[in-house]
Copies of this chain bind each other. A is one copy, B any other.
Amino acid sequence: MKAWEANIRKVVPYVPGEQPKKDRMIKLNTNENPYGPAPGVKAAAEHMDLERLRLYPDPTADLLVSALAERYGLNKDQIFVGVGSDDVLAMAFLTFFNSDKPILFPDITYSFYSVWADLYRIPYKRPALDEQFRIRKEDYDQENGGVIFPNPNAPTSLALGIRDVEDIIARNQDVIVIVDEAYIDFGGESALPLIEKYDNLLVVQTFSKSRSMAGMRIGYAMGNPVLIKAMNDVKYSFNSYTMNLPSLILGTEAVKDEAYFQETVGKIKETRERAKERLTRLGFTYPEPSANFIFATRPGTDAKTLFEALKEESIYVRYFDAPRISQYLRITIGTDEQMEAFFRFLEHYLNC
């Protein structure tokens, strides 16, 4: 081994979900939106003044922050934007979780939390979800250096009631509590109004799901101005200009079209209701879904075998080879046509 290799940071490389590049496939594996971005985004792209690319973008991302402030009825100093909610969350870990006490997050949850904690050497504990995959709020009633959980949770799709969310925040006022609401637009109740009451609350959302812009990489955090300033200070000390010109312009356009947003989110929720019924008829069970995916299992059907069989047919869902969830599949809600193809295959596979 070369001497310099000794000082390379050791990480467990995260393996991103499959991004197969087949022409004809049904992609229900990464919780993307089956509908494209708002029509105004296309027009904005065509009219973008590309000469401006020679200049650095606005480091304050004012255009986008202003659009979000208007949409959510906040002040601009209550909003932080970043390169996807992964960037926003990682920045929040780096900014807020500097205690010697462990931060807390559920044992079954978004897999990046433990990765960022390891990367920044933040100690953590992972209270177990209960048998029905519910977050037990009492578990967050212990000494800690911070709390983070998604609501709805992933990959379970299960939402925690807003009273329980508030209870967790209220009982942890000495640390920062982050509620990761990547999927909140599809169900559950947002903790956003609580940022006025609790100055230790940070609510994180994303353009990747309900706003059909996973390819644009935009996430945002909302909280009291002290929290937002602390994150911006850390961000500016890293890389002042993280949001490129197309993100600012096209992201803003996406926020403005509320009607399209409501329409597409509504369609996905309707498709989800039909998918729930059909899964039930086929003998699957699942925690009550509040996100744009269903986490389903079927007694007598091996999840991994089914996952592989679906893949053979170019139907991609997500399988996690992990304790407690290895008999489940996470199925993203696609269009009605995509779900029809998925169910046709299931009926054939299960001989129903």
Contact in complex: B119, A237 (CB < 8 Å): yes
CA distance A245 to B216 in the complex (A): 6
17 more CB-based (< 8 A) A-B contacts, given A32-B56, A55-B215? A4-B173, A5-B226, A7-B96, A8-B98, A11-B233, A12-B237, A14-B236, A16-B236, A53-B213, A83-B242, A86-B238, A90-B239, A216-B244, A216-B245, A217-B243, A244-B244, A244-B246
Q: A245-283 vs B: 1/0 string, CB under 8 Å?
A: 111001000000000000000000000000000000000
| A–B complex contacts, Cβ < 8 Å, 25 sampled | A7-B146, A8-B96, A8-B98, A9-B95, A9-B234, A13-B236, A14-B236, A19-B55, A19-B59, A30-B55, A30-B56, A37-B51, A41-B50, A45-B50, A56-B208, A83-B239, A84-B239, A86-B240, A87-B239, A116-B237, A119-B234, A216-B246, A217-B243, A244-B247, A246-B247
CA distance A36 to B245 in the complex (A): 14
A176 contacts across to B, CB distance below 8 A? 4, 7
Q: Which residue of B lies closest to A8 (CB)?
A: B230
Q: A106-132 vs B: 1/0 string, CB under 8 Å?
A: 000000000110110000000000000
Contact in complex: A215, B53 (CB < 8 Å): yes
Pick the contact of A14: B45, B50, B118, B240 (CB < 8 A): B240
Give the shortest distance, in Å, between A238 (CB) and chain B (any CB).
Answer: 5
A242 contacts across to B, CB distance below 8 A? 83-84, 87, 217
Q: A205-243 vs B: 1/0 string, CB under 8 Å?
A: 000100011111100000000100010111011111111
User: Which residues of chain A from 1 to 49 have a CB within 8 Å of any chain B CB?
Assistant: 2-5, 7-9, 11-16, 19, 27, 30, 32-37, 41-42, 45-46, 48
User: Which residues of chain A from 136 to 162 have a CB within 8 Å of any chain B CB?
Assistant: 145-146
Knowing A36-B50, A55-B214, A216-B53, the reply to whether A145 touches B7 (Cβ < 8 A) is yes
Contact in complex: A237, B11 (CB < 8 Å): yes
Name the interface size band of chain A: 35 or more
CA distance A146 to B90 in the complex (A): 25
Contact in complex: B4, A200 (CB < 8 Å): yes
Check: A80 CB closer than 8 A to any chain B CB: no
Check: A174 CB closer than 8 A to any chain B CB: yes
A55 contacts across to B, CB distance below 8 A? 19, 27, 30, 32, 214-215
Check: A348 CB closer than 8 A to any chain B CB: no
Check: A192 CB closer than 8 A to any chain B CB: no
Check: A58 CB closer than 8 A to any chain B CB: yes
Check: A316 CB closer than 8 A to any chain B CB: no
A119 contacts across to B, CB distance below 8 A? 234, 237-238
Q: A37-80 vs B: 1/0 string, CB under 8 Å?
A: 10001100110101111111111000000000000000000000
Give the shortest distance, in Å, between A336 (CB) and chain B (any CB).
Answer: 16
A14 contacts across to B, CB distance below 8 A? 236-237, 240
Q: A300-325 vs B: 1/0 string, CB under 8 Å?
A: 00000000000000000000000000
Pick the contact of A86: B27, B146, B213, B239 (CB < 8 A): B239
Contact in complex: B7, A97 (CB < 8 Å): yes
Q: Which of A5, A199, A244 has the most CB of B within 10 A?
A: A244
A226 contacts across to B, CB distance below 8 A? 5
A7 contacts across to B, CB distance below 8 A? 96-99, 145-146, 175-176
